[in-house]
Amino acid sequence: MTARLFTPFDLGALRLSNRIVIAPMCTYSATDGCANDWHVIHYGGLALSGAGLLTLEATAVEPEGRITYGDIGLWDDACETALGKTLESVRRWSDMPIAIQIAHAGRKASTDLPWLGGVQLPPGSEHGWQTVSSSDLPFQDGEVAPHALDRDGLKRVREAFASAAKRAVRLGLDAIQVHSAHGYLLHQFLSPLANYRDDEYGGSLENRLRFPLEVFDAMRDVVPSNVSLTVRVSGTDWVEGGWDIDGTIAYAQALQAKGCTGIHVSSGGMSMAQSIPLGPNYQVPLARAVKQAVSIPVIAVGLVTEAEQAETIVGTGDADLVAVARVMLYDPRWPWHAAAALGAKIKAAPQYLRSAPHSAANLFKV
């Protein structure tokens, strides 16, 4: 019997050849939001891995929405053209469907590259700018506080998400993911730990959901129904009194009603006080809780590193798809090894067909 991990799956109108999703991972190597030959090399390699879907890193909707000055963006024609060139190169040699994560970092923007320390770069410093958020609370003590978005600012950001989505559609991306997890801008509206507003965008759960749902609507309006539009959520802040699984379920149900194609369940990123029970599958219970509350596809992620582990997640129905991040950087042919371990077949570039080991001589689909 074929391992369930290697059965096809329909993410909306998009058919995936297996249940392995490469999770979005920032690589902080762009210039002024423009992708370059790094992105061709990096994504070109991942696109030869046999996964069912490749998700491009968090892509900013405006320059101030970048985590670092090295993030890629989709806010103007130059960014769009640069990403288009990357995609053209990758697609020339791989037919793996490609998704993009559309993001705004809010108060967690304007930081240095992680390998240079990742600290906030204050406005006025080289590579730094003034950040925005739901309220004027900084992420960490000692940081320059964000400006709380006013009505015009909310409109600008909403339109920036929609405009980036239009550009993503124009680039022929197969799926679009809205980043509302990990303590970034949309999560900063959802979580009571960041959102202290006293207008209709703060306070009650209904009010805190309002801006992320408006952003989703603005994007769904410009993304054709045959293009998957998924949302990445943090299932919990892992902090008492913070965003939690009940809020996540209400959010997921509201998104489903608005035409969301799938929910990708991650967690954390909102507060330095988070206490995460790290270990294999640590976020799977959150995915399972969302899966039980919605009928659209659910993607699980987080310390899934073994083939059997991924197979169990989709086999038990805790989630429909499994996303992998760090293990794909460590072992970019992880899906091949997973297929070999589970006795499944996987697609490989014809140039690589001769590489199958004796122990898995029939590994590759021809």
Ligand X SMILES: Cc1cc2nc3c(=O)[nH]c(=O)nc-3n(C[C@H](O)[C@H](O)[C@H](O)COP(=O)(O)O)c2cc1C
Supply the DSSP symbol for 298: E
Among 158, 182, 220, 347, binds ligand X (CB under 6 A): 182
The span from the CA of 47 to the CA of 259, in Å, is 28
Applying CB under 6 A, the span of 41-49, 142-150, 211-219, 302-310 interacting with ligand X comes to 302-310
From the list 43, 184, 201, 251, the catalytic residue is 184
Asked if 7 contacts 345 with a C-beta cutoff of 8 angstroms, the reply is no
Closer Cβ to ligand X, 60 or 144, answer by number: 60
Among 51, 181, 263, 284, binds ligand X (CB under 6 A): 181
Among 260, 324, 339, 344, binds ligand X (CB under 6 A): 324
Per rule CB under 6 A, count of chain residues that contact ligand X: 20
**Residue tagged 């038990």 (tokens):** 316
> Who contacts 302 (Cβ-Cβ below 8 Å, separation ≥6)?
266, 267, 281, 282, 283, 284
> 194-233: which residues touch ligand X (CB under 6 A)?
232
The span from the CA of 89 to the CA of 110, in Å, is 30
Closest CA to 273 of 239, 235, 242, 249: 239
Q: How far is the CB of 176 from ligand X (least distance, A)?
A: 13
Examine residue 17 and tell whether it contacts ligand X (CB under 6 A): no
Closest CA to 106 of 208, 26, 185, 209: 185
**Residue tagged 């890629």 (tokens):** 72
Asked if 175 contacts 262 with a C-beta cutoff of 8 angstroms, the reply is no
> 139-178: which residues touch ligand X (CB under 6 A)?
none
Among 70, 106, 235, 302, binds ligand X (CB under 6 A): 302
- Which tokens go with 172? 């022929």
Among 113, 303, 342, 360, binds ligand X (CB under 6 A): 303
Applying CB under 6 A, the span of 24-32, 40-48, 204-212, 218-226 interacting with ligand X comes to 24-32
CA dihedral 153, 174, 177, 13 (to 10 degrees): 110
Burial 212-235 (b: 16+ CB within 10 A, else e): bbbbbebbbebbeeebbbbbbbbb
> Who contacts 204 (Cβ-Cβ below 8 Å, separation ≥6)?
none
Among 15, 127, 326, 365, binds ligand X (CB under 6 A): 326
Closer Cβ to ligand X, 23 or 46, answer by number: 23
Closer Cβ to ligand X, 336 or 364, answer by number: 336
Residue 184 annotated among the catalytic residues of the structure? yes
Examine residue 301 and tell whether it contacts ligand X (CB under 6 A): yes
Among 30, 58, 178, 185, binds ligand X (CB under 6 A): 58
Examine residue 42 and tell whether it contacts ligand X (CB under 6 A): no
Contact footprint for ligand X (CB under 6 A): 23-26, 57-58, 101, 179, 181-182, 232, 266, 301-304, 324-327
Which residues participate in catalysis according to the annotation? 184
